[in-house]
Structure 1
């Protein structure tokens, strides 16, 4: 048996919701922007976990398989099974690493989500959605430095997810605006999530805290009422962007260029350096993408996509080489 799973890229924060809002991304040209994981049975006599990495950004990951997050995912999943009195077996896992590391597009989250989703499928959905999401947050937190769900939740569940984290409810799906296009441009410069969090202030003043709370509450309200104009106006980051924006090469001037060209909002995706811009017009989105391609991309690792929000989240895909 062989199972191949895709998990989409994601935007954390989405400007207005630092650590509490995230959206999954799907390019409008039909490309799949995210990571793939294939899991299959391994004939090893002793219980073993074999991990291999291929794909465009495979060379950015450690060469030692035991330092790969997929190995940690398998170990953690198997331990969870053992605690429940369930057995596990030797497995082989292949990561197709198509998202750049440190891009602000939920790269580690996509790998974790694809791995744990594939493991759960392989073991006949032994864990509930809630338990699986908890495990996803735990594993992604090993890389980013703290447990937060604003990347793993949308990558797993799709759409625009608001983090709730009350009782058994970790997140809630928000209504979205179908006519919005999200232009995302990765410059090619790596930004460590852990380091990006390190430069954040340990506390914010009361005025900033009140503004943050007002903005996210009003954005949720506007989303539920279908008020796209107000929702766009509220896509403002008063927490992270004032600190991170100035240290991301070419971000500030390109964000302003997006707004000058008619974008209804623009900001940092996750910890950066990916920049996003929002418009409700496809022609305008393509114009913004061309501008960013010429002015924001800094090396061959960079790319730009016009996206909608991915409503599906993680899902099984055809195995490589099959139809």
Structure 2
């Protein structure tokens, strides 16, 4: 018996919703950009403890000590929760196929955490509810980022555009999206850790900034429900983090100006960076932006650019 689950990339913050909005994306060319976790049953004749295998294009960037890997910690947490239900965990082999760079701003750790918990839950025939799984995902993700926020795990798990709520019984709410839009993401291959990106932010904000943040977020949510594309993307701007984090990204301000000339509806930093995102409502302009970013924003051959659309599925068997 075995189960494989794919967990897709996501944009945290989505500019206008610091730690409050998250968007799940998939490339339009059909590539599976994200992580895959496979869970297989082991026989006692084959092993006397759980096994973990690390593979994938970015496996070399993760801790090689099994017990330091976030997916191994997911196994431990899941087994503990199973035991609380009075169920004895089986011997398993878990394989993480790591295909997203760490500290990319695309929810890399969330991809691993979500894929692991969904695969384990599927393997054990769904012992845990969606809300219970989401809470366990958030707790594990917090071990990486240093604080509890769901703006990557929620969209990665549930798909679509998710609004985080201050309610432990309903952590997130799915919002309407503009499904005719194309989201171009560009990872330049420079490292910006979530910790460093948080430390660069001020400890306090002016009242004016807080009011503007609230107005922009409320206006964006309103526009999503009314499908007012012009209002939505005119408000898709970051007054909380981008003014401070943009210095961590290569040629960010120049890139934003060029993308606007190409017809971008909005641009911003994906999560804490260094990935940049930009939005278009036609494929031709998105392709031109992809070509420009490939030539001017990437810093090495390990960088990449994808044209994406909203992924409403989230984590799924593969």
Q: Tell me the TM-score normalised to structure 1 length.
A: 0.96
Q: Say whether the 8 Å CA contact 1:61–1:68 is kept in structure 2.
A: yes
In the TM superposition, what are the counterparts of 1:261-276 in structure 2 within 5 Å? Answer: 261-276=262-277
Residues of 2 paired with 1:181 and 1:64: CA distance?
39
Indicate the SS of the match to 2:307. Answer: strand
Q: Say whether the 8 Å CA contact 1:187–1:298 is kept in structure 2.
A: yes
The aligned residue for residue 57 of structure 2 is 56
Residues of 2 paired with 1:88 and 1:165: CA distance?
33
Residues of 1 paired with 2:75 and 2:20: CA distance?
27
The aligned residue for residue 10 of structure 2 is 10
> What are the ranges of 5 or more consecutive residues in structure 2 without an aligned counterpart?
none
Structure 1 pair 167/56, CA: closer, same or farther in 2 (3 Å)?
Answer: closer
The aligned residue for residue 320 of structure 1 is none
In the TM superposition, what are the counterparts of 1:124-139 in structure 2 within 5 Å? Answer: 124-139=125-140
The aligned residue for residue 162 of structure 1 is 163
Count of residues in Structure 1 that have an aligned counterpart in Structure 2: 317
RMSD: 1.1
Structure 1 pair 115/167, CA: closer, same or farther in 2 (3 Å)?
Answer: closer
TM-superposed CA distance for 1:47, in Å, is: 5.8
The aligned residue for residue 98 of structure 2 is 97
Residues of 2 paired with 1:239 and 1:135: CA distance?
28
Deviations 1:63-85 (A, max 9, x none): 11111111000000101111121
The aligned residue for residue 77 of structure 1 is 78
Residues of 1 paired with 2:217 and 2:49: CA distance?
46
The aligned residue for residue 218 of structure 2 is 217
Residues of 1 paired with 2:149 and 2:313: CA distance?
21
TM-superposed CA distance for 1:44, in Å, is: 4.1
**More displaced 10-residue stretch of structure 1: 37-46 or 75-84:** 37-46
Indicate the SS of the match to 2:171. Answer: strand
The aligned residue for residue 109 of structure 1 is 110
Residues of 2 paired with 1:166 and 1:286: CA distance?
40
> What are the ranges of 5 or more consecutive residues in structure 1 without an aligned counterpart?
318-323
Q: Structure 1 segments of 4 or more deviating over 3 A?
A: 44-47
Residues of 2 paired with 1:309 and 1:113: CA distance?
18
Are 1:22 and 2:11 counterparts? no
**More displaced 10-residue stretch of structure 1: 165-174 or 66-75:** 165-174
Residues of 2 paired with 1:48 and 1:21: CA distance?
39
Residues of 1 paired with 2:121 and 2:316: CA distance?
12
Indicate the SS of the match to 2:165. Answer: strand
Q: Say whether the 8 Å CA contact 2:5–2:37 is kept in structure 1.
A: yes
The aligned residue for residue 315 of structure 1 is 316
Deviations 1:195-228 (A, max 9, x none): 2112211221100000000000000000000100
Deviations 1:245-302 (A, max 9, x none): 1221222211221112210100000000000000101000000000000001111221
